[in-house]
Protein backbone atom coordinates (compact mmCIF):
# COMPACT_ATOMS: atom_id res chain seq x y z
CA UNK A 1 0.00 0.00 0.00
CA UNK A 2 1.32 3.40 -0.94
CA UNK A 3 1.30 6.38 1.37
CA UNK A 4 -1.18 8.30 -0.74
CA UNK A 5 -3.66 5.45 -0.37
CA UNK A 6 -3.89 6.11 3.33
CA UNK A 7 -6.43 8.75 4.27
CA UNK A 8 -6.13 9.98 7.80
CA UNK A 9 -9.45 11.04 9.24
CA UNK A 10 -9.60 13.37 12.19
CA UNK A 11 -12.10 12.60 14.84
CA UNK A 12 -14.80 15.27 14.55
CA UNK A 13 -14.79 17.76 17.40
CA UNK A 14 -18.12 17.94 19.16
CA UNK A 15 -19.73 21.18 20.12
CA UNK A 16 -20.62 21.95 23.73
CA UNK A 17 -24.28 21.12 23.11
CA UNK A 18 -23.34 17.84 21.57
CA UNK A 19 -21.19 17.05 24.55
CA UNK A 20 -24.08 17.69 26.85
CA UNK A 21 -25.97 15.09 24.84
CA UNK A 22 -29.39 16.35 25.87
CA UNK A 23 -30.13 18.51 22.80
CA UNK A 24 -29.26 15.53 20.62
CA UNK A 25 -31.69 13.39 22.53
CA UNK A 26 -34.42 15.95 22.09
CA UNK A 27 -33.60 16.08 18.41
CA UNK A 28 -33.94 12.32 18.25
CA UNK A 29 -37.21 12.38 20.12
CA UNK A 30 -38.47 14.91 17.60
CA UNK A 31 -37.69 12.53 14.74
CA UNK A 32 -39.27 9.62 16.54
CA UNK A 33 -42.40 11.59 17.27
CA UNK A 34 -42.63 12.78 13.68
CA UNK A 35 -42.69 9.20 12.47
CA UNK A 36 -45.03 8.12 15.23
CA UNK A 37 -47.71 10.48 14.12
CA UNK A 38 -47.31 10.20 10.36
CA UNK A 39 -50.08 7.84 9.38
CA UNK A 40 -49.50 8.53 5.72
CA UNK A 41 -45.99 7.11 5.72
CA UNK A 42 -47.16 3.99 7.43
CA UNK A 43 -49.97 3.38 4.98
CA UNK A 44 -47.59 3.80 2.07
CA UNK A 45 -44.84 1.53 3.27
CA UNK A 46 -46.62 -1.35 4.89
CA UNK A 47 -48.55 -3.94 2.97
CA UNK A 48 -51.20 -5.98 4.72
CA UNK A 49 -50.31 -9.50 3.67
CA UNK A 50 -52.20 -11.81 3.02
CA UNK A 51 -55.06 -9.54 1.97
CA UNK A 52 -52.70 -7.41 -0.05
CA UNK A 53 -50.19 -9.54 -1.93
CA UNK A 54 -47.36 -8.50 -4.14
CA UNK A 55 -48.95 -10.16 -7.13
CA UNK A 56 -51.99 -8.06 -6.47
CA UNK A 57 -49.92 -4.95 -6.94
CA UNK A 58 -48.12 -6.41 -9.91
CA UNK A 59 -44.69 -5.71 -8.52
CA UNK A 60 -43.24 -9.19 -8.14
CA UNK A 61 -40.70 -10.08 -10.81
CA UNK A 62 -42.12 -13.49 -11.52
CA UNK A 63 -39.26 -14.68 -13.66
CA UNK A 64 -36.69 -13.92 -11.02
CA UNK A 65 -38.22 -14.96 -7.74
CA UNK A 66 -36.85 -18.13 -6.18
CA UNK A 67 -39.70 -19.95 -4.50
CA UNK A 68 -40.97 -23.52 -4.46
CA UNK A 69 -39.31 -25.95 -6.87
CA UNK A 70 -40.99 -27.66 -9.72
CA UNK A 71 -40.08 -30.54 -12.00
CA UNK A 72 -40.74 -29.70 -15.61
CA UNK A 73 -42.43 -31.95 -18.08
CA UNK A 74 -41.31 -32.42 -21.64
CA UNK A 75 -43.77 -31.84 -24.52
CA UNK A 76 -44.92 -35.46 -24.26
CA UNK A 77 -45.93 -34.92 -20.65
CA UNK A 78 -43.14 -37.05 -19.20
CA UNK A 79 -40.86 -35.88 -16.44
CA UNK A 80 -37.98 -34.04 -18.07
CA UNK A 81 -35.47 -35.05 -15.42
CA UNK A 82 -32.81 -37.59 -16.46
CA UNK A 83 -31.76 -38.40 -12.88
CA UNK A 84 -28.19 -37.22 -13.32
CA UNK A 85 -27.88 -36.13 -9.64
CA UNK A 86 -26.32 -32.81 -10.66
CA UNK A 87 -28.81 -30.83 -8.60
CA UNK A 88 -28.32 -32.93 -5.50
CA UNK A 89 -24.56 -32.61 -5.99
CA UNK A 90 -24.77 -28.85 -6.38
CA UNK A 91 -27.19 -28.44 -3.49
CA UNK A 92 -25.41 -26.79 -0.56
CA UNK A 93 -28.16 -27.80 1.84
CA UNK A 94 -28.31 -31.44 0.76
CA UNK A 95 -32.06 -31.30 0.42
CA UNK A 96 -32.52 -33.19 -2.85
CA UNK A 97 -32.80 -36.94 -2.75
CA UNK A 98 -33.01 -38.86 -6.02
CA UNK A 99 -33.36 -42.52 -6.81
CA UNK A 100 -32.63 -43.30 -10.42
CA UNK A 101 -33.97 -46.13 -12.50
CA UNK A 102 -33.95 -47.37 -16.02
CA UNK A 103 -36.39 -45.29 -17.99
CA UNK A 104 -39.40 -46.96 -19.56
CA UNK A 105 -39.00 -44.85 -22.69
CA UNK A 106 -36.70 -45.83 -25.56
CA UNK A 107 -35.21 -42.36 -26.06
CA UNK A 108 -34.01 -41.95 -22.51
CA UNK A 109 -31.47 -43.80 -20.43
CA UNK A 110 -32.34 -42.88 -16.85
CA UNK A 111 -35.26 -41.30 -15.15
CA UNK A 112 -36.00 -40.50 -11.52
CA UNK A 113 -37.95 -43.22 -9.75
CA UNK A 114 -38.02 -41.03 -6.66
CA UNK A 115 -37.32 -37.33 -6.52
CA UNK A 116 -37.72 -35.75 -3.10
CA UNK A 117 -36.94 -32.19 -2.10
CA UNK A 118 -37.02 -31.23 1.55
CA UNK A 119 -38.46 -27.74 1.24
CA UNK A 120 -37.66 -27.02 4.87
CA UNK A 121 -33.98 -27.75 4.40
CA UNK A 122 -33.76 -25.90 1.11
CA UNK A 123 -32.22 -22.45 1.20
CA UNK A 124 -33.66 -21.42 -2.18
CA UNK A 125 -30.30 -20.51 -3.65
CA UNK A 126 -31.17 -21.74 -7.13
CA UNK A 127 -27.99 -23.79 -7.61
CA UNK A 128 -30.04 -26.82 -8.63
CA UNK A 129 -31.62 -24.84 -11.41
CA UNK A 130 -28.22 -23.78 -12.68
CA UNK A 131 -26.75 -27.27 -12.41
CA UNK A 132 -29.56 -29.01 -14.29
CA UNK A 133 -28.33 -30.01 -17.77
CA UNK A 134 -31.85 -30.46 -19.13
CA UNK A 135 -33.62 -27.57 -17.35
CA UNK A 136 -35.87 -29.98 -15.57
CA UNK A 137 -35.75 -28.46 -12.11
CA UNK A 138 -36.73 -24.85 -11.71
CA UNK A 139 -37.71 -22.51 -8.94
CA UNK A 140 -41.13 -20.93 -9.26
CA UNK A 141 -42.31 -17.55 -8.02
CA UNK A 142 -44.59 -19.31 -5.56
CA UNK A 143 -43.57 -18.15 -2.10
CA UNK A 144 -46.63 -19.17 -0.12
CA UNK A 145 -45.18 -22.39 1.18
CA UNK A 146 -46.73 -23.66 4.36
CA UNK A 147 -47.46 -27.02 5.87
CA UNK A 148 -48.60 -28.46 9.15
CA UNK A 149 -46.05 -31.27 9.39
CA UNK A 150 -42.47 -31.81 8.40
CA UNK A 151 -43.37 -34.82 6.31
CA UNK A 152 -45.75 -32.67 4.33
CA UNK A 153 -42.93 -30.34 3.39
CA UNK A 154 -40.91 -33.05 1.69
CA UNK A 155 -42.12 -32.69 -1.86
CA UNK A 156 -42.03 -35.85 -3.92
CA UNK A 157 -41.96 -36.23 -7.68
CA UNK A 158 -45.72 -36.12 -8.12
CA UNK A 159 -46.05 -32.97 -6.07
CA UNK A 160 -43.21 -31.26 -7.90
CA UNK A 161 -44.76 -32.16 -11.24
CA UNK A 162 -48.05 -30.79 -9.98
CA UNK A 163 -46.34 -27.52 -9.11
CA UNK A 164 -45.25 -27.40 -12.74
CA UNK A 165 -48.84 -27.78 -13.87
CA UNK A 166 -49.89 -24.97 -11.54
CA UNK A 167 -47.16 -22.56 -12.51
CA UNK A 168 -46.46 -23.25 -16.15
CA UNK A 169 -48.74 -20.42 -17.25
CA UNK A 170 -47.08 -17.91 -14.96
CA UNK A 171 -43.56 -18.99 -15.79
CA UNK A 172 -43.13 -21.12 -18.89
CA UNK A 173 -40.26 -23.54 -19.09
CA UNK A 174 -37.14 -21.52 -19.72
CA UNK A 175 -35.20 -23.28 -22.47
CA UNK A 176 -36.42 -25.41 -25.33
CA UNK A 177 -36.81 -28.94 -24.08
CA UNK A 178 -34.30 -31.62 -24.96
CA UNK A 179 -35.82 -35.04 -25.08
CA UNK A 180 -33.22 -37.44 -26.40
CA UNK A 181 -30.48 -37.02 -23.92
CA UNK A 182 -29.49 -40.58 -23.28
CA UNK A 183 -29.17 -43.35 -25.76
CA UNK A 184 -29.47 -41.31 -28.92
CA UNK A 185 -26.33 -39.40 -28.20
CA UNK A 186 -27.59 -35.98 -27.17
CA UNK A 187 -25.34 -34.14 -29.59
CA UNK A 188 -24.69 -30.55 -28.76
CA UNK A 189 -26.43 -29.31 -31.89
CA UNK A 190 -29.65 -30.92 -30.69
CA UNK A 191 -29.61 -28.67 -27.72
CA UNK A 192 -29.13 -25.61 -29.84
CA UNK A 193 -31.72 -26.53 -32.45
CA UNK A 194 -34.46 -28.29 -30.59
CA UNK A 195 -36.91 -28.44 -33.46
CA UNK A 196 -34.70 -30.27 -35.94
CA UNK A 197 -36.21 -33.62 -36.74
CA UNK A 198 -34.09 -36.40 -35.40
CA UNK A 199 -33.67 -40.02 -36.29
CA UNK A 200 -33.69 -42.41 -33.39
Partner 1 sequence: MPKIIIDGQEIECRPGIPVLQAALEAGMDIPHYCYHPGLKIVASCRLCLMEMKMPHPKTKEMAWAPKLFPSCQTPAKDGMEVRFDSDAVRANVRHVMEYYLLNHPLDCPVCDKAGECYLQDYTEDHGSAASRMVDEKQKNPKKDIGPQTLLYSDRCVLCSRCVRFCDEISGTSELRVINRGSRGEIDVFPGRPLDNALQGNVVELCPVGALLDKEFLFRQRVWTLKTTKSISPVDSRGQSIYIDYNEEGIHRIRPRFNEKVNEWWISDEARFGWKHVHRDDRLNQPRVRGSDGLVPQRWEELPEFLRKRLADAAKQVSDSVAVVLSPMMSCEEAWLLAKAVRDVAPQAVLFHGFVPVVGEDRTFPKGFVVKAEKCPNRRGIETICEHLGGNTANWGDFLGMASSGKIKAAYVVGGYPNEWLTSEAVAAIGQVEFLVVQDLFPTALTEHAAVEIPSVSWTEREGMFMNCDGLLQEFERALNPLEGTKADGQFFFELAGNVGLFRAKKVREEMAAALPVFADVFIPQELPEHAH
Partner 2 sequence: MKSILYDKTTQAIENTLRNPLVLIVAALVLGAAALVPLWMLFPYYRWLLSDPFWFPIIVMGVMLKVILTSTAVCILAERKLASFTQDRHGPNRVGFWGLLQPMADGLKFFLKEDITPANVDKPIFMLAPVLALITALIGFAIIPWAGDVHWPWMPEGEVVRTQVASLNIGILYMLAVGSLGVYGIVLGGYASNNKYSFFGGMRATAQMISYELPLGLALLSVLLVSGTVRPELIVDTQATTGMWYVFYQPIAFFIVLVCTFAEANRTPFDLAEAEQELVGGFHTEYSSMKFAMFFLGEYAHIVTGSAIMVALFFGGWHCWGLTSAADTSWIGMLIKLNVYFAKVAAFVLFFMLIRWTIPRFRFDQLMRICWLGLVPLGIALLAGTAILVALGWQHNLWASLGMNLVLLVLTLIYTARSTVPVTGRQTDLPEIQVRPA
Does residue 47 have a cis bond before it (omega within 30 degrees)? no
Span from 5-13, 15-23, 30-38, 180-188 in contact with partner 1 (CB under 8 A): 180-188
Q: Is 37 in the site for partner 2 (CB under 8 A)?
A: yes
* Distance separating alpha carbons of residues 38 and 24, to the nearest angstrom: 21
* Distance separating alpha carbons of residues 151 and 153, to the nearest angstrom: 5
Task: List the interface residues with partner 1, window 88-147 (CB under 8 A).
Answer: 89, 100-102, 109-110, 133-134
Is residue 116 within 8 A of residue 155, CB to CB? The reply is: yes
Q: What would you report as the CA-atom Rg of the chain, rounded to the nearest whole angstrom?
A: 27
Binding mask 55-74 for partner 2 (x = CB under 8 A): -------------x------
What sign does the CA torsion over 81, 85, 86, 88 have?
A: positive
C-beta closer to partner 2: residue 4 or 11: 11
C-beta closer to partner 1: residue 18 or 99: 99
Which one among 63, 113, 123, 145 touches partner 2, defined by CB under 8 A? 145
Amino acid sequence: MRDEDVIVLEEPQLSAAERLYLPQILDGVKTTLRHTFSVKNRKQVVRQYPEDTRQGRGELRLANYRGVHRLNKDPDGRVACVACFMCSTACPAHCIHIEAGESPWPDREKYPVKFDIDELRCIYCGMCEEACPVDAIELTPNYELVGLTRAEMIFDKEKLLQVYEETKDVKPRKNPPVTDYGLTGGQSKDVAQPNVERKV
